[in-house]
């Protein structure tokens, strides 16, 4: 079942319109875990010419979405608390890693970190999901 869940999630991400638009690439998924990558482009710049916080949030949210749904049941975000530490440069490849911290029947918490290719910490996030008791619709 684990392999079926992972393959189904990978297939969904490959055709997810927002992930495609933002250039989000799923590198690894496992139970309670996801690693997602993105190259920051000039189209993602804010008014200061730096990467927009929304682009970083999108990367975090994708990793969170995948990790929290990796058990094969639908999960939806309840809360996300992001701390921006440093801005990557345009053209940098950045990775978000989401790790499950705790899980109950109804909720789960995740710690998400964002690092550049050199391993420098760019952002952190603590996130909470509500776990619906229904299977993922695409399984």
Q: What is the DSSP string of 23-56?
A: T-EEEEEETTEEEEEEE--GGGB-TTSSBPHHHH
Residues of the chain with pLDDT under 70: none
Terminal-to-terminal C-alpha distance of the chain = 10
Say how far apart CA 98 and CA 113 lie, in whole Å. Answer: 7
30 and 5 Cβ atoms separated by less than 8 Å:
no
Q: What is the pLDDT of residues 36-72, one digit of tens each?
A: 999 999 999 999 999 999 999 999 999 999 999 999 9
The CATH number for 35's domain is 3.10.129.10
Number of independent structural domains in the chain: 1
Model confidence, pTM: 0.96
* pLDDT for res 1: 85
Q: Domain range spanning residue 38?
A: 2-135
* pLDDT for res 56: 98
The tokens for 138 are 């695409």
Task: Sort strands 73-84 and 93-103 into parallel, antiparallel or unpaired.
Answer: unpaired
27 and 37 Cβ atoms separated by less than 8 Å:
yes
The tokens for 30 are 């496992």
Q: Which residue has the tokens 């690693």?
A: 35
């Amino acid at each position: 079942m684990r392999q079926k869940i992972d393959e189904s999630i990978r297939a969904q991400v490959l055709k997810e319109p927002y992930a495609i638009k933002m250039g989000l690439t799923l590198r690894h998924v496992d139970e309670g875990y996801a690693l997602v990558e993105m190259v920051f482009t000039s189209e993602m710049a804010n008014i200061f010419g730096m990467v927009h916080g929304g682009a970083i949030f999108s990367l975090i949210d994708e990793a969170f979405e995948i990790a929290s749904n990796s058990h094969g049941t639908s999960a939806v975000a309840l809360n996300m608390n992001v701390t921006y530490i440093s801005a990557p440069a345009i053209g940098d490849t950045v990775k978000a890693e989401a790790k499950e911290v705790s899980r109950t029947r109804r909720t789960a918490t995740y710690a998400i970190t964002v690092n550049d290719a050199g391993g420098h910490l760019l952002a952190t996030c603590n996130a909470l999901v509500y776990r619906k008791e229904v299977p993922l619709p695409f399984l």
